[in-house]
């Protein structure tokens, strides 16, 4: 039986998709991936992502300032984001990719926190969910989310923390993004976490072209490989593939306020 999927995190505005969008979407569609959410990383990509979402009905835009690019984000970037969120395009479904990162060499953590707090305020005003990046910062991020009290919640993407950390985000109303990390046998902790969390709190994602799956190392990741992530998730869980596929779609529609597809 074929299933329908949504890739809730794909950087479709980067190579190898640039200039090959139609073919890439065809390949994704053949694998059952019908909808793709495209998060931004810097402000110079905002309008390009919106243009992609307007051109291709399978794509949805998310706009935000990624913590890894903290040295590039100026006040003018926040002002542009605020303007685009205020005059909201119908193809815009989330604020992201935003968050915290303590893995990078020079994290400028206080600056990251100020930037994230400003973007939380914008998401709150726009009543949009957030797509959250978190590396070695789950506890700090959860603390900021408790303070922010975002009404539309969102997803912690590419999660590789502990079960208790995942449960803390779920308690705050956030979903957990399941990606290619679970394809690696060595990622036993993450595999066990994804097996134990409530299915109602999971979303499917690739982070393409990043985070290649086991067997595809050295190649750009692709949105059609969300189907591979799904197969691995099914092998870890007790529910039927039909149940898992249906609930992952329902979760995506609910969190990002997407119509049925």
The reply to whether 187 falls in a domain is yes
Q: What is the pLDDT of residue 131?
A: 98
Using CA atoms in the order 207, 211, 212, 214, what is the torsion angle rounded to 10 degrees? -120
Which two structure tokens, joined as six digits, stand for 46?
A: 């905002």
Q: What is the pLDDT of residue 1?
A: 61
Return d(Cα 87, Cα 76) in angstroms, integer.
17
State yes or no: cis peptide before 224, omega within 30 of 0.
no
Domain CATH for 92: 3.20.20.140
Return d(Cα 261, Cα 248) in angstroms, integer.
13
- Total domain count, the chain: 1
Return d(Cα 125, Cα 145) in angstroms, integer.
15
Residue range of the domain that includes 224: 5-256
pLDDT tens-place string over residues 107-129: 999 999 999 999 999 999 999 99
SS3 187: coil
> Phi/psi of residue 190, each to 5°?
-65, -40
Q: What is the pLDDT of residue 259?
A: 80
The reply to whether 261 falls in a domain is no
């Amino acid at each position: 039986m074929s299933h329908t999927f949504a890739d809730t995190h794909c950087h479709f505005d980067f190579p190898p998709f640039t200039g090959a969008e139609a073919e890439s979407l065809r390949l994704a569609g053949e694998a059952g991936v019908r909808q793709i959410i495209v998060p931004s990383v810097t402000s110079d990509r905002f309008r390009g992502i919106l243009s992609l979402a307007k051109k291709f009905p399978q794509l949805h835009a998310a706009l935000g300032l990624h913590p890894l690019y903290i040295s590039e984000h100026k006040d003018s970037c926040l002002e542009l984001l605020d303007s685009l969120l205020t005059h909201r395009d119908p193809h815009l479904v989330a604020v992201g990719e935003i968050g915290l990162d303590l893995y990078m060499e020079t994290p400028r953590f206080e600056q990251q926190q100020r930037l994230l707090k400003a973007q939380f305020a914008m998401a709150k005003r726009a009543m949009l969910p957030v797509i959250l990046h978190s590396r070695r910062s789950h506890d700090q991020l959860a603390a900021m989310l408790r303070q922010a009290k975002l009404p539309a919640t969102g997803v912690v993407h590419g999660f590789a923390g502990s079960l208790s950390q995942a449960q803390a985000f779920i308690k705050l109303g956030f979903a957990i993004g399941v990606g290619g990390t679970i394809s690696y046998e060595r990622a036993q902790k993450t595999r066990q976490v994804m097996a134990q969390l409530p299915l109602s709190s999971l979303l499917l994602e690739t982070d393409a072209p990043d985070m290649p799956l086991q067997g595809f190392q050295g190649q750009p990741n692709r949105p059609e490989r969300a189907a591979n992530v799904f197969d691995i998730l099914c092998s870890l869980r007790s529910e039927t593939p039909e149940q898992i596929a249906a609930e992952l779609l329902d979760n995506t529609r609910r969190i990002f306020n997407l119509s049925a597809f």
